[in-house]
């Protein structure tokens, strides 16, 4: 009986999560897709927890089991937020598949760099999306047309660099060759001043 109650409540959570998410993205403003989806997951967990409190003893679950259920719902909601809307919002892989379908199923391999620069960036408003996310996250500031790192941004840049250099694969398959190019990707790029820095 406990298992059935837990499963039914979890099913209710999933239904509420999907309903709240759809209403949110269709009818309300969204600043950052990930944050919005996480908020929806928390709201659904709270609503389901309230229902669990209201049904009281009719759900044969002990106090600790109820807490564990709420934790499971929150973790599941977070997994949903990362795996569905955030992946759809950020995935270059999905874009490639959609672009291939749009172009009749085939595109020359040599054309992809131009597609990424001239079509993907514009069609998905990539610069606007990512700058908005960073502004909302508090990692950058924009003043007089100059984008600068906040103290939080500097800290995250150091953490990201450390993680790349120590936890990314050193033998990753890229274009048919195993390489460590993405362990420290910025070291392979342009060095020195490029003329786009703020004065």
What b/e string do you get for 120-138 counting C-beta neighbours within 10 Å, with b at 16 or more?
A: beeeeeeeeeeeebbbebe
Q: How open is the CA angle 56-61-64, to the nearest 5 degrees?
A: 110
Question: 169: helix, coil or strand?
Answer: coil
Q: What is the mean predicted confidence (pLDDT) over 47-53?
A: 91
Rounded-to-integer distance, Cα 116 and Cα 93, Å? 11
**pLDDT, tens digit, 9 for 90 and up, residues 68-124:** 999 999 999 999 999 999 988 888 898 999 999 999 999 999 999 999 989 998 999
At residue 77's C-alpha, the angle toward residues 75 and 80, to 5°, is: 110
Q: How far is CA 171 from the centre of its chain?
A: 26
3 state SS for 57-81: HHCCCCHHHHHHHHHHHHHHHHHHH
Per-domain boundaries in the chain: 2-90, 91-136, 138-187
Q: What is the reported pLDDT for 190?
A: 60
Q: Pick the residue with more confidence: 4 or 139?
A: 139
Q: Is the pLDDT of residue 140 over 60?
A: yes
* Helix intervals (H) in 82-176: 87-90, 92-102, 112-115, 121-123, 126-137, 151-167
pLDDT beyond 60 at 41: yes
pLDDT in tens, 154-182: 999 999 989 888 888 888 898 888 988 87
CA of residue 51 relative to chain centroid, distance:
29
Tell whether the model's pLDDT for residue 56 goes beyond 90.
no
**Residue 49 main-chain phi, psi, to 5 deg:** -65, -40
Reported as a pLDDT band with limits 50, 70 and 90, residue 191 is: low
């Amino acid at each position: 009986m406990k298992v059935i109650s837990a499963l039914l409540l979890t099913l209710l959570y999933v239904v509420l999560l999907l309903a709240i998410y759809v209403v949110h993205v269709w009818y309300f403003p969204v600043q950052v897709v990930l944050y919005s989806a996480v908020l929806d997951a928390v709201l659904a967990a709270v609503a389901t927890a309230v229902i669990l409190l209201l049904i009281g003893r009719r759900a044969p679950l002990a106090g600790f089991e109820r807490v564990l259920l709420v934790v499971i719902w929150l973790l599941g909601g977070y997994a949903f937020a990362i795996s569905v809307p955030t992946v759809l919002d950020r995935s270059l892989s999905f874009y490639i598949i959609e672009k291939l379908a749009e172009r009749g199923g085939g595109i020359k391999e040599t054309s992809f760099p131009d597609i990424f620069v001239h079509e993907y960036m514009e069609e998905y408003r990539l610069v606007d999306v990512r700058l908005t996310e960073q502004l909302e996250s508090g990692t950058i500031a924009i003043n007089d047309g100059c984008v600068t790192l906040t103290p939080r941004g500097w800290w995250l840049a150091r953490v990201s660099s450390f993680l790349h250099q120590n936890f990314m694969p050193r033998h990753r398959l890229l274009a048919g060759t195993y390489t460590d190019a993405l362990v420290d990707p910025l070291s392979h790029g342009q060095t020195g001043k490029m003329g786009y820095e703020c004065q």
